[in-house]
Amino acid sequence: TTSMPPGFKQIILGLGCFWGAERLFWKLPGIFLTAVGYSGGLTANPTYEETCSGQTGHTEVVLLVYDPKKLTLDKILSIFWQAHDPTQGFRQGNDRGTQYRSAIFVMDDADFDMVQESANSYQKALAKNGFGQITTEIRKNQQFYFAEDHHQQYLYKVPSGYCGLQGTGVCVD
């Protein structure tokens, strides 16, 4: 975890390649900090190469620290669900491997319950449009490990860099 202003919250999201995921959120009003890293696995302080090997169990994630008075969890989740395909298991588009799985890691029970409700609601919308089951991993209190410096805000530094992030086209009701 990172220190944050009083009253602020954090959430860790995995939706494929972390470069595009971070860019999706960094300009939103109410975002205090974004960082890319690894979470949901077994190994402490994994490197990019270790994570990509599939041996650590981590997924590429973006950490959001936000002011819930300016940005609601519902808004964050709406962007999350619509920005990627949460039914693809260990891949997003051409990016394949456990490090590209969909994940939401929260810090408390209230957020966990809201995420579960949100997933159930979006599952109904996906099913109506012919998509399968959501495979998003939803857990509490997962350790976040910062990715190497050159990955942080990568698409700001390299605006034409690769981003394979694509949604399903199904809107959140």
Q: How many Å separate Cα 143 from the centre of its chain?
A: 14
Alpha-carbon distances of 57 from 3, 31, 93, rounded to whole Å: 26, 28, 20
For the chain, which ranges sit under pLDDT 70? 1-3
**Distance from C-alpha of 143 to C-alpha of 157, rounded to nearest angstrom:** 27
Among 17, 52, 163, 171, the one annotated catalytic: 17
Stretch (H or E) spanning 52: helix 48-52
Residue 59 pLDDT: 96
Instruction: Please compute, for residue 100, the number of CA atoms within 13 A of its CA located in the half-sphere on the CB side.
Output: 22
What pTM was computed for the model?
0.94
Q: What is the mean pLDDT of the chain?
A: 93
Residue 70 pLDDT: 97
Report yes or no: 66 and 74 within 8 Å, Cβ to Cβ: no
Residue 114 pLDDT: 97
Sequence-ordered list of residues with C-beta below 8 angstroms from that of 76, at least 6 positions apart, any chain: 11, 13, 25, 64, 66
Residue 2 pLDDT: 54
- Is 17 catalytic? The answer is yes
**Distance from C-alpha of 167 to C-alpha of 173, rounded to nearest angstrom:** 15
